[in-house]
Amino acid sequence: MEAGQSGADRGAWTRSVPRWKRARYAVLVSLSLMYFIAYIDRTNISVAGPFISKELGLDKQQLGFVFSVFAYTYTAMQILGGWLADRFGPRLILFLLCVVWSIGTILTGMVGGVVSLVLVRLVVGIGEGGAFPAATRAMSFWFPPQERGMAQGVTHSFARLGGAAAPFAVVGITAQYGWRAAFVVLGVASAVWAAWWVASFRNTPREKRSVAPEELEEIGIPAMKSAREKTPWRAMISCMWLVTLVDFCYGWSLWVFLTWLPTYLLDARGFDVTRMALFTSLPLAAGVVGDSLGGILSDRILKATGNLRLARCSLLVFGLSGALVFLVPAVQTQDALLAVYGLTASFFCLELTNAVLWSLPIDIAGRYTGTAGGMMNTGFGVAGAISPAVFGILIQRTGSYVGPFAITAGLLAVGIIGSLFINPNRKVDERSLVLASL
């Protein structure tokens, strides 16, 4: 025991977490906070959408375009952001990306029309685009294989918690100071996190003095990617394309919840603004539980069976199937509250798959995790570029939400089938050697 430190001082932390594990859990806390802030900044536009639409005179089709334009630059930055994190380290890259999206968020509160709104959403997409692949690269060097599902689950739970908090934060600030002030406040919060990150994080545990030798041994740090080492793109595509497809199917549904749920509850279900904020948060709060639970269950299956494919793919199939089963009756029911409960159950099941999807790039790509994570999340980005816009066009032309939700259900079915064929035991390094011999 350290001098001057009593057993009581060591407290509950050391009773639940061994002392030599503190360093990587501090990293987990920091990344979880980033995911929380990032999702508030990502979903605030959908909560403020009705207010922005009224002030700027946007119809449903224009609002859908504003929702989706974020995903254009977000998608473009996926692979590039992950590749940059592999090459220069997640400490610098995450700092720069967070600064960019904080500036874009602040500027959102200063727009004067549709054009400027679209431009600042593109800036936010640039910043957030490479953030999660870079964070996944950080996790690959700070967490051992048997804890990666948990780490991904916890961080993405905080992302959903951010999404659940966004309606209350945006509506609360808007009620007092207007919707513009909400974006300024949230952008400043992002900038504060960026300063904390660059001051406290190091790219590998070996660079952090507080990491004990026992923790270094348990983590089993993978080999670093050389700055001159070429990325095996053919092997990466061969191993990751199906994961990207399933992520697209997952992402389509997620973007529906993140962008159109508030407007759907207002227009199609007749809730007022206060109840809209509450019932928008309910599915996202269920996602908080689903994210953590999915990652923990996947890790436990891996520890119990040693079967990596079973541990990952079983959660994918079960989660996407549950999302489909609950979505269909939720949209068809005439009872508004039953619809909310069905959407909540659907989103919970959908989020059981999220930690698994983000664990797969680490399982498959090793030291190329950042690039592989960006490749996978490109599917999510493409879904984000299409899904909100398609919703807006169909709603504008048909006056109904049934058609858009039917497309969502069909893509969930495609994702279920694709999940059956994913094999995380196919490693990028091994596949690279096979392709090189052809």
**If you write DSSP's letter for every residue of 255-294 in order, what string do you get?**
HIIIIIHHHHHHHTS---HHHHHHHHHHHHHHHHHHHHHH
pLDDT digits (tens, 9 = 90+) for 157-190: 898 788 778 878 888 888 888 889 989 999 999 9
Q: CA 300 to CA 305: how far, in whole Å?
A: 8
Q: 150 and 116 in contact (C-beta within 8 Å)?
A: no
Can you give the pTM of this predicted structure?
0.74
* Interacting residues of 309 by C-beta distance below 8 A, sequence separation 6+: 422, 423, 424, 425
Between 66-75, 104-113, 299-308, 428-437, the lowest mean confidence (pLDDT) is in 428-437
Percent of the chain with pLDDT over 70: 91
Output DSSP code: residue 229.
Answer: P
Tell me what the mean pLDDT of segment 263-277 comes to.
78
- pLDDT score recorded for residue 362: 85
Tell me what the mean pLDDT of segment 323-342 comes to.
90
Tell me what the mean pLDDT of segment 133-155 comes to.
86
* One-letter amino acid for residue 384 of the chain: G
**Predicted confidence (pLDDT) at residue 13 exceeds the cutoff of 50:** no
Domain ranges of the chain: 23-204+232-437
Enter the tokens of residue 220. 């089993």
- pLDDT score recorded for residue 21: 57
Distance from the first to the final alpha carbon of the chain:
59
Between 273-287, 301-315, 325-339, the lowest mean confidence (pLDDT) is in 273-287
- pLDDT score recorded for residue 229: 66
- pLDDT score recorded for residue 3: 37
pLDDT digits (tens, 9 = 90+) for 18-58: 554 578 888 899 999 999 999 888 878 878 888 888 888 87
Question: Between the ranges 78-87, 254-263, 271-280, where is the mean pLDDT highest?
Answer: 78-87
The CATH number for 23-204+232-437, chosen from 1.20.1250.20, 1.10.4030.10, 1.10.3720.10, 3.40.50.300, is 1.20.1250.20
Burial profile 188-218: b = 16 or more Cβ within 10 angstroms, e = fewer: ebbbebbeebeeebbbbbeebeebeeebbeb
How confident is residue 343, by pLDDT bands cut at 50, 70 and 90? very high
Q: CA 277 to CA 265: how far, in whole Å?
A: 9
Enter the tokens of residue 383. 């879904």
**Predicted confidence (pLDDT) at residue 88 exceeds the cutoff of 70:** yes
- pLDDT score recorded for residue 287: 83
Q: CA 55 to CA 232: how far, in whole Å?
A: 49
Output DSSP code: residue 368.
Answer: G
**Predicted confidence (pLDDT) at residue 367 exceeds the cutoff of 80:** no
pLDDT digits (tens, 9 = 90+) for 184-219: 999 999 999 999 999 989 888 888 877 777 777 777
- pLDDT score recorded for residue 346: 95
Q: What are phi and psi of 6, to 5 degrees?
A: -85, 170
Enter the tokens of residue 428. 């990028």
Is the sign of the CA dihedral 354, 356, 359, 360 positive or negative?
negative
Tell me what the mean pLDDT of segment 379-403 comes to.
82
**How many CA atoms does the CB half-sphere of 337 hold within 13 Å?**
0
Strand ranges, E, within 223-372: none
**If you write DSSP's letter for every residue of 96-147 in order, what string do you get?**
HHHHHHHHHHHHHTT--SHHHHHHHHHHHHHHHHTHHHHHHHHHHHHS-GGG
